[in-house]
Amino acid sequence: MRSQASILHLDLDAFFAAVEQRDKPSLRGKPVVVGGVGRRGVVSTASYEARTFGVHSAMSGAEARRLVPHAAFLGGRFEAYWQSSRIVMALLGELSDRVQALSLDEAFVDLAGTAAPTDPDALFAYAEDLRAELTRRTEGLTASVGIGTSKLMAKVASELAKPDGVRVVAAGTEAATLAPLSVRAVPGVGPVTHQRLQTLGLRTVADVQRAPLSELVREVGATWGPELHELAWGRDDRPVEGHRDAKSISQETTFEHDQTDRAWLEGRIDADAAHVCRRLARHGQFARTITIKVRFGDFTTWTRSRTLPGATDDPQRVAQVARSLLDQVDVLRGVRLLGVGVSGFVRAAQEELFWLDEGSSSEVGGPGEPDVGGDGGAGESFGDGPFGRRRRELYWPGADVEHDELGRGWVWGAGLGRVTVRFETRDAPGGPVRSFAQDDPALHPAGPLPMAHEVPVTDEDED
């Protein structure tokens, strides 16, 4: 354990929804739900205004609409989220060369040996300055920051600081800080472990602190029991893992709530495959092996991989193989983390004659070690994934568009061959609302607007 609080955890507040509210001024201060728009859609992120009605991530779109029918339900805009994420990660990289990004909106930073102060009060002011600079560079986003003597305590501190706050847990106060919290506050305690602990009457971290180690081992296993006991006391010596030369490229997301909807997970795979293949292309490489990583609510972790007869950088091919690997997984157990990776790099494409769903796969892994971290369109014509990567239409609620005469805007609604657009941008609110035929030649899909502090994409990009 460190003798001083020197690990920082930053978590962007309601990230996807916050980006939408920033870029769509008419939605600021109103309930916004990202995802949940398809027939079987699942909520990806809800704004804090929507959360007051009980909406949360992993909830079905139908239930979210019942709770808050007046909310704006939007499909995702991965490029806009990635754009803001790069700005944030670049800012963190100015603090330390040891930054471990967990997802687009979450990262650890090792402050040891940097210019960061060590006094808790000074650290608080340091974190407030960081958050103010983040808001300036991202043009309005906010973040919660926690600082502690370990990854565990930094993560717990940022959760206690939500939303839009700072919490510093000074050395020596770890156990007392954890004690009153629910056992779910301990990383790795998902629904299954939570239920097992409840059967023992262990509801708070203090209960786990007082429990005999033998009882924990009997209930949750010889590997996880001792680890749970150590974490309950705030003992965690895992390092912040900075950048390493990549022998593989992957994208992983830890979900706030365990996911059981296969269609939603397939949509996540599509988005991750697209991101991984962009990075492949920037490196000028092709991959032969495609891997998925699945971590369940009980923290059992499995990987499945398939090696192709040729090499590819095609996101559709990578997504197709990854989805076929996911077919072998019982997602009803509750998926806590999902990732897509590629490896076996070559510098030249080795074209496959056929795309086959059949093929051998390898399965490795077992009980995972606890880790800290980890957030469609109108009608049935859009995919159910969180970012709609399999949409069959050009326009979906929330999508960026541009009209030859009226300029930039976003899709207010779409269906029955019509597209309704609100013409506004983050700096030009309150524009008119107009409807067009879906095939109107003056209307075009568009990407996100550039930002003043936008970070160029490089080979070193890590999300």
pLDDT per residue as tens digits for the range 319-334: 999 999 999 999 999 9
Say what the pLDDT of residue 353 is: 36
Say what the pLDDT of residue 347 is: 67
Whether 302 has a pLDDT exceeding 80, the answer reads: yes
Give the chain's mean pLDDT.
85
Q: Identify the CATH class of 248-367.
A: alpha beta
How far is it, in rounded angstroms, from Cα 278 to Cα 386?
19
How far is it, in rounded angstroms, from Cα 313 to Cα 292?
16
Say what the pLDDT of residue 209 is: 95
Q: Which residues are catalytic?
A: 106
Our CA dihedral for 276, 357, 367, 239, rounded to 10 degrees, sits at: -10
How far is it, in rounded angstroms, from Cα 459 to Cα 426?
29
**3-state secondary structure at position 336:** strand
Average pLDDT (258-273) is 90
0.85 exceeded by the pTM? Answer: no
Domain ranges of the chain: 188-232, 248-367
How far is it, in rounded angstroms, from Cα 50 to Cα 54?
7
pLDDT per residue as tens digits for the range 44-56: 899 999 999 999 9
Q: List the single range of 216-220, 370-374, 382-386 with lowest mean pLDDT.
A: 370-374
pLDDT per residue as tens digits for the range 336-379: 889 999 988 876 655 443 333 333 333 223 322 222 223 333 22
How far is it, in rounded angstroms, from Cα 342 to Cα 422?
39
What are the tokens at 220?
Answer: 């949750």
Whether 192 has a pLDDT exceeding 70, the answer reads: yes
pLDDT per residue as tens digits for the range 23-42: 999 999 999 999 877 766 78
CB-CB contact of 228 with 78 (8 Å): no
How far is it, in rounded angstroms, from Cα 15 to Cα 80?
11
Q: What residues pair up with 300 in beta bridges, in sequence order?
A: 367
pLDDT band for position 219 (50/70/90)? confident
Backbone φ and ψ of 44, nearest 5°: -90, -50
Q: How far is CA 329 from CA 44, 60, 72, 262, 283, in A?
A: 21, 21, 33, 10, 31
Q: Identify the CATH class of 188-232.
A: mainly alpha
Q: How far is CA 260 from CA 30, 178, 268, 296, 338, in A?
A: 28, 29, 13, 10, 12
pLDDT band for position 393 (50/70/90)? low
Q: How far is CA 27 from CA 33, 212, 419, 430, in A?
A: 11, 51, 19, 10
pLDDT per residue as tens digits for the range 134-187: 999 999 999 999 999 999 999 999 999 999 999 999 999 999 999 999 999 998
Measure CA of the first residue to CA of the last residue in the chain; give whole Å: 28
**3-state secondary structure at position 454:** coil
Handedness of CA 406, 74, 11, 29 (dihedral sign): positive
pLDDT band for position 403 (50/70/90)? very high
